[in-house]
Structure formats: C-alpha cells, structure tokens
Amino acid sequence: MSDHSQITRRGLLKSAGGIALLSGISAPAILRAQTAEVIKIGHLTPRTGFLGPLGEYAVMAVDLAVEEINASGGMMGRKVEVLKEDSVNPQTASTKAERMIERDKVACIIGEISSASCLTIAQVAQRNKVLYINTGGNSDALRGSDCKRYMFHVESQNSMYVKTVGRSFLRDGLVKGKKWYSLTADYAFGHDLLKVSKRFMEANGGNFAGDDLVPTDATDFSAYLLKIREAKPDLVVINLAGNQITNFLKQYAEFGLTFPVGGFGFDTALAWAAGKGNFVGTWPVVWHHLVDTPGTKAFVGSFSKKYSKPPENQAWGDYISTKIVAQAVNELKSTDSTKIIEHFEKGAKFDLLKTRPGYFRASDHQLMHEMYAVTALPADKIKNQWDIFASSPAVPGPNEDLEVIAATKEENTCTFPT
Amino acid sequence: MSAMLLAQQILNGLLDGVYYLLIALGLSLIFSLGGIVNLAHGAFYAIGAYLTLVISPYLGFAGAFVAAPVAVALLGMLIELTLFRRFYRSDPILSLLMTFGLAMVAEQALRMIFGAPPLSYSIPTWLRGQVAIGSFIYSFYRVVLLAIAATCIAGLWLLLQRTSFGRVVRAGVQNPDMVGALGISLQPYMSAVAALGIGLAGLAGVLLAPIYSIHPAMGQEIITPAFVVVVIGGLGSFWGVVAAALLVGLVKGVMVGIGYSAASTAAIYLLMLLVLLFRPRGLFGERILRFE
C-alpha cells in the first residue's frame, strides 16, 4: 500500500466545488436526421430536481400527443417531431430554448413547470418571435408585469387556483374570522402565490397568523410542524411545490396534526406519492383523471394503456398544448408563430377534454377553462392507489363566465411590450 | 416565540442531525481509509429506500429493516471489489469522477426500474402515534428512529475502539504503509469498511422511507448536507462528525424556529465556511500526515 492516494484536504474541497459545477450539466438530447418535411416542436421541462417527477408526466404526455397527431395525418400532412430536453434551471432553460430555435428551427416551444424558467424561455421566444406555450408555470406575474406577446398559458394562473379552491374554503367556513398559517416554497412561484393568497384571504375576512418560506430542497418539515402546532391555526395553507408537498403530507400525518389543510397549488402525482391516509385536505387542480367527460375518458384510456398508470394534471397540460398547436396549424395551414398568435387572440375555441371548450384571453394570453377542487377521501373509502380524492363540480359552474376565477385587470395588469 | 418552543426546536434540530449522521459516518470512514470521496453514497441511501418498498410486501417493515441494509452492504462490497479498489492509488479526482458517474448511473437505473414519479410508503401502524416527553409531544416513529441510529453509532464506535478489527482500521487511517510493513493486508478491511459505511446509508434509506418522499433523485438531497457534516466535523474524527451532524441539525432547526427559514439551508454552508476559516481541519479533525 505504498504511495497511497495523494489527496489533500484542500484538493478535496476544490474537487467538491467542481462537482457543484458538473451537476448543472445534463445529457444532450439525441437528434434524429433532419428532413425538410418534418415539423419540429421543442419541449422543455424540468426532469431532475424537485419538479422532476412532474416533468416526467409532461414528457410522457407530449410523446402520446405527437403519436396521435402523426397517426391522424400530422400537421398540414407533414410529420411532427418533438425535441425534448431537461430544462434543469432558468439559465439552462434559456440556453436550450435558444439552441432549439436557432439550430433546430422549431416551430414553437411547449412546456415548463418552474415559473422562473418560464420567464427565461419567454424572453428567448419573444426575441426570436417564436410561439411559447407555458404548460406548468403558475405565477400571476408571468401574465402581468412579465407578460409577453409570444407567450401563452395553458397552465392556470395562481389567481385561478386560489379562487377555485377558495370557494371550497368559504363554503366550509374556513376563511371568515379564521386564523390561517402558511408554508411557502421559496422561489418565484411561491412568492407570487403567497401574495395572491393574502389578497384572497384578506378580502374574505381571514386572519393571517404567519408564514414560513421553505427552501426548495427541504425534506424535513418537523421544525415547521412544531411551529404550526404552537400557532393552532384554523387552516394550514400549503403554497409548496413538487416533492415538498409529498414530504409535508407524510410528516403532517406522522406528527398527528389535525388542523384542516388546504393548498393553493397542487399536483396529483404528489398526493399519489403521499398515499392513502397521509393525503389530506382540499386542493385545486386544472384537471384530474376522474373528470367525467368522453374526452377525458379517451385520454386516460390511451395514456394508461401506453404507460400502465393514469395521467396526472401535468400530463394534461402538455398533452392539450400540443393538440392546440396541431389544431391551430391545421386550421391556418401555416406554422408561422405570428399568424398562430393572431388566431389565438381572436378567441379560437379548443376542446380541453372538459364540459365546455376554452379559449385564450387576449388581454393576458391566459387559457380560460374550468378547474376543480379535490378533497382527500377518508382511508376506508379508498379503493385503489389512484382514486384517492373526490372532486367538486367544474369551477366556474355551467351558468358562469369562465373569466370569473381569473385575475381581474386591477389585480394583474399586462401591457404587452411592443 | 416562547422558551418552550425554542427548547422544542433545539431538541428537534439535534434529532434531525442524527439522520445526517448515518450517511456522514460512512462517508467519512470510506474517505479516511481509502481516500475515496464517495459521491454515490446518497444513491445507496435511495436504493435502501426503494428496497424497503420492494421487500415490505413480503417481509413487512421489520423484515425490510434487516434485509435492505444487508443487501445494500453486499452491493457496497461488490462496488468496492470491482471499482473502488482500482482507485486507491490514483489521483483522487479520478475516484471522485468515478463515484459521481456511479451516482448518476444508480439514479437513472432507479428511474428506469421504478419510474420517475415518487412512490408512496407509510409508517407501519405499530410505529405510528405520538409520545409525550414531559410537555414535549413528539412523533413516536422519530423516537424509535433515534434509538436505532444511536445504537448503530454506539456499535460502530465500539467496533472501531474495542476490537482488533477497529484497531487495524484506525491504524490504516493513520499510516497504511506501516500497517503493510507489519504484514497486514488492508484489502479485506477496505471491503468490510465499504460494506459497513454503505450499509449504514442503506439503513438510513429504510428508516427515512416512511417519512420522506421516495423518488430516484432522493440521494442528491442528502449527499450535500452529509458532505458538509464531514467537512465541518473533520476528517478521521468519529466524534467530530457526530458533533458536526448535531450542530448542522441544530442550526437548521433554530433558523426555522426563529423565523428565518428561508436562510436555513444557507446557514449550514455559512457554518462550514466559518469552521474552515478558523479550524481548517474541521472541529475535531486530526492531523493525518498523508492528507496534509
């Protein structure tokens, strides 16, 4: 064992720094041979990190959508090809969007979950005049102060989430004169959601008891749970994201806390991961696999057949966005982003697998559509690992305007930069 | 905030630190003896958690508690025999890159086998509930977890201090050439240490599976704080690593407790910076000639 390793303490620390840099790099996508006939679509979404589990559903869904589009004649009779990349973080997302547009000449970019990355992709799209459809970034700011003419939002804005589930909280008497305590994901999405939550709760007479910002990589919530127990709130509001929600739910059950829980942001996969008995409370979703319409049944059927599990709401976002683009291109007989944008702004209607079709609101490019509030079922009423909640009817109801849950012009102002 | 809540946060922070300890002790041991910075250590923790999911339906949580760490330890021994062994004499940056690659392969393999979405697993019924320690009400599962972790740590210390095996390992850390000159081959000890350290990571995976989200990248979440603990504690120091783990848990918990939760992660890096500035060998780091 002579001349054992030559490592030094300083060398070790330097190497550790190198690793931090290395971990930002992800594998490049394998590009297929280019042909002039193929129409390319760029897809960017986080596939690693705390949002990675949701990104995987997005990828499965966009693959399914493209498969179906190609099987029914493609776009303008041309085959569609999707280039998929892990967006990793806002900086990498921007670089990859740039490369997709300049080198691969994609017709549009679809995807994303992180609000912070949505913004950097939108900046690239705007500069290059290429359509970008946001499928998972919730921040109101993306539809307000940061809005862009070339960015459209299939994902609902935070205001829509808050007003949808807010109706359930009001109905259950959890707002007026009641004390609420929140945990908020410490990045763009969480900060924006906390602002919107406060506006809603204050307007309806709730008493704010406190908030803790939670780092996105936090796994242990025991310190927060002790604070919540001490504060004795009437409602615990969860403004967390990704794995944070699963970790919170598992540990909330572990600590035996019973204050009513509700979230203003949510993804079904996180409830499935928390599992029966741990998943509690009432939460808003853009869509879920139990929506009772023929469109949803067909989508859930083909998705389950291909992947042996039902789709969750992020899958709906990327699936429906790809279908919207295909429909618009086929109707317009053009892949020109400027023409597609005009078409969207004129109020073109799209089937969203729900009870009524939706459209993009011209003033901020937000998709106007129905949402749902889901409530965890008690453990003894759960039959399988997927159907663990009961859903409210569609919000807004059949006799209401779709815009009633969206942010008003006063709440969130968008002036498209020219 | 009341003094009572502060006391609870301090106690909870210390307990939180114990989870890092199971990972950090193995990391420190493998590095001290073989000079390998095992960045794949977190991946073994993830494998431990996934094995719990696989084994539980057949043997229950108690069965998984025994079988999963043993399986992970055997895997660790295999990795030592086939991979680590080739890097003891080479530039440490090579072993660093190798274990970094290994971590990525392991994570991707978990993703291919189990899928990217997180999987559900709950605390078994017989370990649920709350216990009251004075007026401090705490999760029963975490008290059990603490007892198991403390037993492992005490057992490891006794093994290193009171057995002939431990004496050879400690001598190997200080001066491998002298151990060789005395006619003792360190190779089997290296395999045993790798199995032990990696098995502990697997055990941490079993113990945390019921309360943390189980997903392929879960190893990444734990490796960085564990690494920070090793650096703060000081290389080659058993109690240094123990003290550092408790300190890291304490700092995180108290930051949340006093309302600066947003800075709770940053605080542990700041702590590491301060320790490195004033005590470059870590809190109780020994002077090991070949690492200077």
Tens digit of each residue's pLDDT (9 = 90 or more) over A257-312: 999 999 999 999 999 999 998 999 999 999 999 999 999 999 999 999 999 999 99
Question: Which CATH number is B132's domain given?
Answer: 1.10.3470
Which residues in chain A are closer than 8 Å to B93, comparing Cβ atoms? 11, 15, 18
Q: Residue B271 phi/psi, 5° resolution?
A: -60, -45
Q: Chain B: give the shortest CA distance to residue A380, in Å.
A: 15
The confidence band for A418, taking pLDDT boundaries of 50, 70 and 90, is low
pLDDT score, position B290: 63
Task: Report the residue from A1, A56, A251 with minimal CB separation from B116.
Answer: A56
Name the residue with tokens 């420190």.
B28
What are the boundaries of each domain within chain A?
Answer: 39-157+291-368, 159-288+371-405
Nearest to A29 by CA among A82, A68, A106, A80: A82
The confidence band for A1, taking pLDDT boundaries of 50, 70 and 90, is very low
Q: Chain B: give the shortest CA distance to residue A102, in Å.
A: 30
Q: What is the pLDDT of residues B42-60, one digit of tens each?
A: 999 999 999 999 999 999 9
pLDDT score, position A24: 46
Cβ–Cβ of B122/A272 closer than 8 Å? Answer: no
CATH class given for the domain over A159-288+371-405: alpha beta
pLDDT score, position B268: 94
d(CA A149, CA A169): 35
pLDDT score, position B212: 95
pLDDT score, position A52: 87
pLDDT score, position B235: 75
Q: What is the pLDDT of residues A107-158, one digit of tens each?
A: 999 999 999 999 999 999 999 999 999 999 999 999 999 999 999 999 999 9
Q: Chain A: give the shortest CA distance to residue B167, in Å.
A: 17
Answer yes or no: is pLDDT of B33 > 50.
yes
Nearest to A234 by CA among A211, A257, A201, A259: A259
Answer yes or no: is pLDDT of A30 > 50.
no
Answer yes or no: is pLDDT of B113 > 50.
yes
Cβ–Cβ of B261/A223 closer than 8 Å? Answer: yes
Nearest to B96 by CA among B26, B37, B27: B37
pLDDT score, position A3: 44
Name the residue with tokens 């389950």.
A304
The confidence band for A14, taking pLDDT boundaries of 50, 70 and 90, is low
Which residues in chain B are closer than 8 Å to A251, comparing Cβ atoms? 211
Instruction: Give the B window 14-43 contacts with A, CB below 8 Å.
Output: 15-16, 19, 31, 34-37, 39
**The model's pTM:** 0.90
Interface test with A, best of B30, B142, B211 (most A CBs within 10 A): B211
Which residues in chain B are closer than 8 Å to A227, comparing Cβ atoms? 5, 256-257
Answer yes or no: is pLDDT of A41 > 60.
yes
Answer yes or no: is pLDDT of A346 > 80.
yes
pLDDT score, position B281: 87
Is residue B119 less than 8 Å (CB to CB) from chain A? yes
Whether CATH 3.40.50.720 fits A39-157+291-368 = no
d(CA A65, CA A48): 22
What is the extent of the structural domain holding B278? 3-291
Task: Report the residue from B19, B262, B292 with minimal CB separation from A8.
Answer: B292
Which residues in chain A are closer than 8 Å to B211, comparing Cβ atoms? 247, 250-251, 254
Q: What is the pLDDT of residues B149-193, one digit of tens each?
A: 999 999 999 999 999 999 999 999 888 889 999 999 999 999 999
Domains A39-157+291-368 and A159-288+371-405 belong to one CATH topology? yes
d(CA A137, CA A156): 8
Is residue B229 less than 8 Å (CB to CB) from chain A? no
Which residues in chain A are closer than 8 Å to B180, comparing Cβ atoms? 1-2
Q: Chain B: give the shortest CA distance to residue A114, in Å.
A: 17
pLDDT, chain A, mean: 92
Q: What is the mean pLDDT of residues B17-37?
A: 91
DSSP result, chain B: --HHHHHHHHHHHHHHHHHHHHHHHHHHHHHHHH----TTHHHHHHHHHHHHHHHHHHHHHHHHHHHHHHHHHHHHHHHHHHTGGGGTTS-HHHHHHHHHHHHHHHHHHHHHHH-SS-B-----GGG-SEEEETTEEEEHHHHHHHHHHHHHHHHHHHHHHHSHHHHHHHHHHH-HHHHHHTT--SHHHHHHHHHHHHHHHHHHHHHHTTTS-B-TTHHHHHHHHHHHHHHHH-TT-HHHHHHHHHHHHHHHHHHHHTT-GGGHHHHHHHHHHHHHHH-TT-SS----GGG-
Is residue B65 less than 8 Å (CB to CB) from chain A? no
Answer yes or no: is pLDDT of A16 > 70.
no
pLDDT score, position A32: 45
Contacts of A395 (CB under 8 A, 6+ apart): A163, A164, A167, A370, A371, A372, A373, A405
Q: Chain A: give the shortest CA distance to residue B142, in Å.
A: 9
DSSP A308: S
Is residue B176 less than 8 Å (CB to CB) from chain A? yes
Q: Chain A: give the shortest CA distance to residue B70, in Å.
A: 25
Task: Report the residue from B92, B118, B130 with minimal CB separation from A5.
Answer: B92
Q: Is A139 helix (H, G, I), strand (E, B) or coil?
A: coil
pLDDT score, position B89: 80
- % chain A with pLDDT above 90: 87
pLDDT score, position A18: 54
Is residue A315 less than 8 Å (CB to CB) from chain B? no
Q: Which residue of A has its CA nearest to B127?
A: A254
pLDDT score, position A154: 98
β-strands A179-185, A207-214 pairing: parallel
Answer yes or no: is pLDDT of B11 > 50.
yes
Is residue A194 less than 8 Å (CB to CB) from chain B? no
So what's the ipTM on this one? 0.93
pLDDT score, position A25: 45
Which residues in chain B are closer than 8 Å to A19, comparing Cβ atoms? 39, 96, 100
Is residue B179 less than 8 Å (CB to CB) from chain A? yes
Which residues in chain A are closer than 8 Å to B214, comparing Cβ atoms? 273
Structural domains of chain B, count: 1
Instruction: Give the A window 30-49 contacts with B, CB below 8 Å.
Output: 47-49
Handedness of CA A386, A392, A395, A399 (dihedral sign): positive
Which residues in chain B are closer than 8 Å to A243, comparing Cβ atoms? 118, 213, 215
Which residues in chain B are closer than 8 Å to A213, comparing Cβ atoms? 261-262
The confidence band for A60, taking pLDDT boundaries of 50, 70 and 90, is very high
Cβ–Cβ of A5/B265 closer than 8 Å? Answer: no
